[in-house]
Amino acid sequence: MNKRLKLASILTAISMATALTLTGCSETTEKAQSDEKVMAQKVELVDNGVSAEERENRPMRILLINDDGHDGMGIQMLFDKLTEVGYEAWMVAPLTNQSGTGTSILWNKEAHELVEYGDKKYAFEGTPSDCFKAAVHVVMPEKPDLVISGVNDGPNFGEVQFNSGTVGGAARAVRHGYPAIAASLNILNDENLEGFMIPAVDFAVNMVNELNEEWKAGNMLMPLGTGLSYNYPAVPAEEVQGVKFIENEEVYTDFQNYAYDEEKGGIYNSMDMDKFMGQIKNPEVVTDLTEANRGFVTITVIDGNWNAEQEKEDYMKEVLKDIQP
């Protein structure tokens, strides 16, 4: 059994197990058959119609976006590295810095500037999500096989990912059916930025190389609706502890202090560094935030899905069972 069919079988088995838990045995067979049909469709969709022959005769096509802007160090270095290795890299990145824009898009009827400043290099007057959509709808003659957002000059974990343009751009791509990677360097200042950015970029290329083996073999890069978000530690090579797959921090510790300042004439926010460092130093706390700051390369599997788990939906249905329009 090849990996593609094996993955479909695994996911179908998971669906069957879930059906057995949430429903009675009498409903299991019907739901399992439905799940199997949906999964088979997803396995086909995720390949974007790329034949085995086409994969053999061309390199993987990779779209790069970011939120630091088209002149950001991380995206420029990654474009050069991927091109050097032999991939077909395209860059459509914001004309100006779009940090903190999350998944937002332009919502008006105005025309926005698109600048071509190199071979397969474009700057667009929009957010990371806009850049993704401009790339697949306007700029690229053929669809990308993979989207990478970054490498970002700064970390993206926990609640930060809600407003991260880096993760937001990747999540937007995932939601549109493209496998995507949000790549970030866990650095809070620009001291030796280039030195730490190099291994963070190399890690992205290594990840692409691993995925490329699956792609060339005719397998899925990722299941449909799946992406990755990684944070690379800004520490010397000998201090990198390894790679750790970990979920996002679920219960967020609020490190931001919002307060009204009469002299400044408004509300401002600042970071509570004591609380921030206290969590990192607490060995009993294990989150994507703590592990990224303990020297691990953290990888979180994301799906860009705002739906809650079935159990939570069932609970709310029961609570609101009598509600009427």
Q: DSSP characters for 228-285?
A: EEEEEE-S-GGG--EEEE-PPPSS----EEEEEETTTTEEEEEE-HHHHHHHHH-TT-
Bigger pLDDT: 1 vs 237: 237
Structural contact between residues 218 and 55, judged by C-beta atoms closer than 8 angstroms: yes
Stretch among 50-54, 68-72, 161-165, 170-174 having the lowest mean pLDDT: 50-54
Please name the amino acid found at residue 78: L
H/E segment holding residue 25 = helix 25-45
Q: Write down the pLDDT at residue 181.
A: 97
Structural contact between residues 143 and 180, judged by C-beta atoms closer than 8 angstroms: no
Rounded mean pLDDT of the chain? 84
Residue 297, classed as helix, strand or coil, is strand
- Bridge-based pairing of strands 61-65 and 146-153 is parallel
| Residue 210, pLDDT above cutoff 80 | yes
Q: Write down the pLDDT at residue 252.
A: 57
Bigger pLDDT: 2 vs 81: 81
Q: How many CA atoms lie within 13 A of 3 on its CB side?
A: 12
Distance CA 101, CA 91 (A): 19
Q: Write down the pLDDT at residue 33.
A: 52
Place of tokens 């691990």: 296
Q: Write down the pLDDT at residue 283.
A: 76
Cα-based distances in Å from 172 to 30, 49, 130, 176, 226: 32, 20, 9, 6, 11
User: What's the average model confidence in pLDDT over 309-316?
Assistant: 92
| Residue 20, pLDDT above cutoff 60 | no
User: What's the average model confidence in pLDDT over 281-285?
Assistant: 77
Distance CA 51, CA 46 (A): 12
Residue 175 phi, psi dihedral angles, 5° rounding: -65, -25
Q: Write down the pLDDT at residue 50.
A: 79
pLDDT digits (tens, 9 = 90+) for 108-126: 878 999 999 999 999 999 9
Bigger pLDDT: 141 vs 283: 141
Q: Write down the pLDDT at residue 40.
A: 46
Q: Write down the pLDDT at residue 24.
A: 40
Residues ≥6 apart with Cβ < 8 Å to 216: 55, 56
Q: What is the DSSP letter of 308?
A: P
Bigger pLDDT: 126 vs 9: 126
| Residue 28, pLDDT above cutoff 70 | no
Other residues' Cβ atoms within 10 Å of the Cβ of residue 102:
21
| Residue 2, pLDDT above cutoff 60 | no
> pLDDT exceeding 90 applies to what percent of the chain?
57
Q: Write down the pLDDT at residue 12.
A: 41
Place of tokens 């926005």: 112
Bigger pLDDT: 100 vs 10: 100
| Residue 173, pLDDT above cutoff 90 | yes
Structural contact between residues 304 and 225, judged by C-beta atoms closer than 8 angstroms: yes
Residue 212, classed as helix, strand or coil, is helix
User: What's the average model confidence in pLDDT over 180-198?
Assistant: 89
Stretch among 20-29, 63-72, 180-189 having the lowest mean pLDDT: 20-29
Q: Write down the pLDDT at residue 106.
A: 86
pLDDT digits (tens, 9 = 90+) for 83-107: 999 999 999 999 999 998 889 998 8
